Amino acid sequence: MKDQFLLTPDITFLNHGSFGACPKVVFENYRYWQLEFEKEPVYFIQKRLNDLLRHSRQMLGDFVGCEANDLFFTPNPSTAINTVMRSMKLEPGDEILSTNLEYGAMDRMWNFYCRKNGTRYVQQPIELPLTSKEHFLEQFWKGYSERTKVVFISHITSSTALILPVQEIVEKARSLGLITIVDGAHVPGHIDLNITALDCDYYTGAVHKWLLSPKGCSFLYARKEVQDGLDPLIVSWGYDSDFPGESRFIDYHEYNGTRDFSPYLTVPELFEFREANNWVEQTAASKALIREWYPKFCELLNTQPICPVTEEFLGQMCSIPVNTPDEFKLKDTLYDRFGIQIPVTKHGDKNWIRLSLQPYNTIDDIQTFYQALQQLKEEGELLIT
Ligand SMILES: Cc1ncc(COP(=O)(O)O)c(C=O)c1O
């Protein structure tokens, strides 16, 4: 499969999770749309763009389980969640309940909001390893108080690569009357998703990670009941529109000035790629490899998986706790000496190596990584086991 991607062949690429990787045919389609735009920009924007975006939104909505007009495209999940944050009207002392496992950019965003508004971002500590879904839920809800107004939670966490029980969290949060915001950056194309069934207020997902679009394609979903309260992050032509479309929500949010819309227009092509390459079956094999190798890597580094090694908690990624004096050096060494691209991150007081597997990865890639760790372990400087 690697031939079908643009990835350089001389690097063992085990980091799909950070920014995704785009198949050649999807990237060609992206360039095609860029050219179409440049050939006749005025006609493209005025006569073609709306229908093309609607078609992409329809396909994406069908895939993630919501109506086409309940989501709009954003360049990335940060833009999506910033849109929600900028419309949030909390009182000083109110609390946003989250975990200590969230993505750093989102933590920064909520810290920004709280400093400006006198609210509290409660990052409930989650003790690892998780032993069960109930174990997580019990720890999470300990952070609830009578001032909690919002729940913000990752569907799949970043450094720790854990699938969290968002269905149960949203259900309880809604029964408590809380606003529910789910960061599903890693979810579309990775694990099954039905946003309508999940019934949260807001959901963001990246298309350019596991759903294979070129960079700059994500979305924000908002439940119908909250759409009127969501201000556009960028106020543009869709506000008080001269030519209102079928949805005020889409008018407000989708067009925010002149820019390249091409990543959004590749959605039909990427579904074709998935179909033509039996992507669901192929990624099921990648998931099985994660479950097979996660315990082996942990054993090699004298550590433990941070969750039960099951489909409930793991998709195409796993995070191996690693004891190293210098996470940056370990990452650079894996790249410079062994040609392995894999993230080594510090989150809280722990370091993690996060392994991602896509169908373009082979057993050889996994073995290359295993042998590199084995060698570093023998050398005893970067890995303390
Ligand atoms: C949980 C989570 N949220 C969001 C993002 C990405 O957000 P952005 O592309 O806006 O930086 C990531 C990226 O890895 C992530 O893991």
99 CB near ligand 1 (under 6 Å): no
Report the separation in Å between the CA atom of 108 and the middle of ligand 1, taken as the mean of its atom positions: 12
- 293: amino acid identity, one letter: W
186 CB near ligand 1 (under 6 Å): yes
Distance of CA 86 to the CA centre of its chain: 20
- 235: amino acid identity, one letter: V
Region label for 144, one of left (φ > 0), alpha (ψ between -120 and 50) or beta (otherwise): beta
Which residue of 158, 191, 203 sits with most ligand 1 atoms within 8 Å of its CB, as the best mutation to test the pocket? 158
Which residue of 19, 74, 103, 352 sits with most ligand 1 atoms within 8 Å of its CB, as the best mutation to test the pocket? 103
Report the separation in Å between the CA atom of 194 and the middle of ligand 1, taken as the mean of its atom positions: 20
Q: Identify whether the C-beta of residue 82 lies closer than 8 Å to the C-beta of residue 233.
A: yes
**In terms of C-beta distances under 8 Å and separation of at least 24 residues, what long-range contacts does 132-136 make, across chains too?**
132/308, 133/165, 133/168, 133/312, 136/164, 136/165
Report the C-alpha gap between 381 and 335 in whole angstroms. Answer: 16
182 CB near ligand 1 (under 6 Å): no
154 CB near ligand 1 (under 6 Å): yes
Report the separation in Å between the CA atom of 204 and the middle of ligand 1, taken as the mean of its atom positions: 10
Comparing C-alpha atoms, which of 162, 151, 214 is closest to residue 191?
Answer: 162
Report the C-alpha gap between 335 and 341 in whole angstroms. Answer: 6
Ranges of the chain whose pLDDT falls below 70: none
Which residue of 186, 202, 209, 352 sits with most ligand 1 atoms within 8 Å of its CB, as the best mutation to test the pocket? 186
Report the separation in Å between the CA atom of 77 and the middle of ligand 1, taken as the mean of its atom positions: 6
- 216: amino acid identity, one letter: G
Q: Identify whether the C-beta of residue 1 lies closer than 8 Å to the C-beta of residue 359.
A: yes
Report the C-alpha gap between 284 and 292 in whole angstroms. Answer: 12
Looking at residue 381, its pLDDT comes to: 86
Q: Identify whether the C-beta of residue 269 lies closer than 8 Å to the C-beta of residue 289.
A: no
**pTM higher than 0.85, yes or no?**
yes
Q: Which residue, by CA, sits nearest to atom 14 of ligand 1?
A: 18
DSSP lists the bridge partners of residue 353 as 320, 344
Looking at residue 349, its pLDDT comes to: 84
Q: Hey, what are 358's tokens?
A: 């896509």
98 CB near ligand 1 (under 6 Å): no
74 CB near ligand 1 (under 6 Å): no
Q: Which residue, by CA, sits nearest to atom 11 of ligand 1?
A: 78
Show the domains of the chain with their CATH numbers.
2-24+278-379 (3.90.1150.10), 27-272 (3.40.640.10)
Q: Hey, what are 140's tokens?
A: 């999470």
- Structure letter (DSSP) for residue 91: P
Please state, as a whole number, how many other Cβ atoms lie within 10 Å of the Cβ of residue 114.
Answer: 18
Report the separation in Å between the CA atom of 205 and the middle of ligand 1, taken as the mean of its atom positions: 9
347 CB near ligand 1 (under 6 Å): no
Closest ligand 1 atom to residue 156 Cα is: 1
